[in-house]
Structure 1
């Protein structure tokens, strides 16, 4: 007997009923870039459709986010002052700290995540303290924990360390718990690869390293077993959510992590993934809406429970229109 699998593809109604993986607005987290100054809303040329916002312009964005039904944002800050130890990052009146307070004032129900790293705040552009040309792990971890505590004081819901220093999750968890911020959760960039897909973000965050590269602390793209060790270590140290970054070229890593660990998994669909689709769509080579939603669905199908994406606002609109 012939198996008539096509019977369940005949019409949209039955395709929707039997769909194994669905993409929801609830899955999406929107990256937000905040800058010093006033009355600033400037498009980021490397990530078209994404903007730098001064804090006084966040209200307009938050209205759009509320209307979209997106539940969470992740904040990235661009300070005016940079130095060798990223002191602006742990200033209680720093750009991200003020943004956290403003967002909570305007929308207390929005889930606010703060990316924790040093690269935007150091004059050398690396994600840690340097001695000579070497990134020093343990001294960097001390600063990362200090930044995390400052964000917690500002009212953040979740800390997201992206530096890839060894032991930073444990240090953050112990620091937060000691100061009675045990309710602040940690989304760890556990498997963050040294990827060429980050190029547009580095322009957006003004975070390119002034010398060398980040291959001594971000992961080699050829390694999967190492990613599992990184994830396992972060879980043991107290991470509440683990992340794979980038997403699209690392779907196999997401799937393996999902199968191996009974833990919430985030995936970061990074700036390069977004920019490629935008560029192709601008030339009329692809249907932007269709390909963006297919990409996000593939990340969800691979095992991600949540997706950080620059397409969040547009995807939320498209998903609602398809209901």
Structure 2
């Protein structure tokens, strides 16, 4: 624990030699410096490709078994987890409880700093108990520096309940080991502003979460080709997107697509199945249920 308490050795806390004159360069030079440093996020993702793929497979298996995904973090890491979870219902029409974000300090920490609360591992464990996490769930602990006690407490508690666990960090496992089944290490190097992990570390974390949640939804059949066929039609923008998907994938004009979408109950996936197979809405629903919502599999049948 002494090593964790002294964090100066961590990759995320070290001084970036490329930005030591940050306070004396022009605004254009600041932009160029950020652009150059942010490019390192791409290679960091590439180096973590196998662990990211393992997480997609594990999370897909969990959800297919009736489980849920939980992101757990504090500060920026927690906010990024909550953001990714919040984007799943409108993008993939998932129920809010399917992918959830847990942040130290609760909802208030989303808009007001509550960093002191990240130092309590027992709070992380209590959050796991509060959400009644079981052996079919998967818990993804996010901590840029790898040392956040709240996240460590949550991961250990999740493991004790038999849940699958994933650690996501921007330091090496040699610097900070974490209690998890899958270890995602996103090594982007020292920040332009020393220790400010809302920068490269935050960017690469957002990228990784995008990959995981989208990959899981692809595996669950919520995507056909590269179209979000489970899009939730809840406003004019999403309705327009739904109609364009139908237009693009069929020979229907917009007016015909509107009629088909109406008959399907505003369900793009069902509308496409109805059009391509000639079945009615109720029969189409049953067919999709038989194939766990996978449109391609239902069409094969």
Same fold (TM over 0.5): no
- Please give the TM-score of this superposition, normalised by the length of structure 1: 0.29
Give the helix-richer structure, 1 or 2: 2
Structure whose alpha-carbon radius of gyration is higher = 2
Give the strand-richer structure, 1 or 2: 1
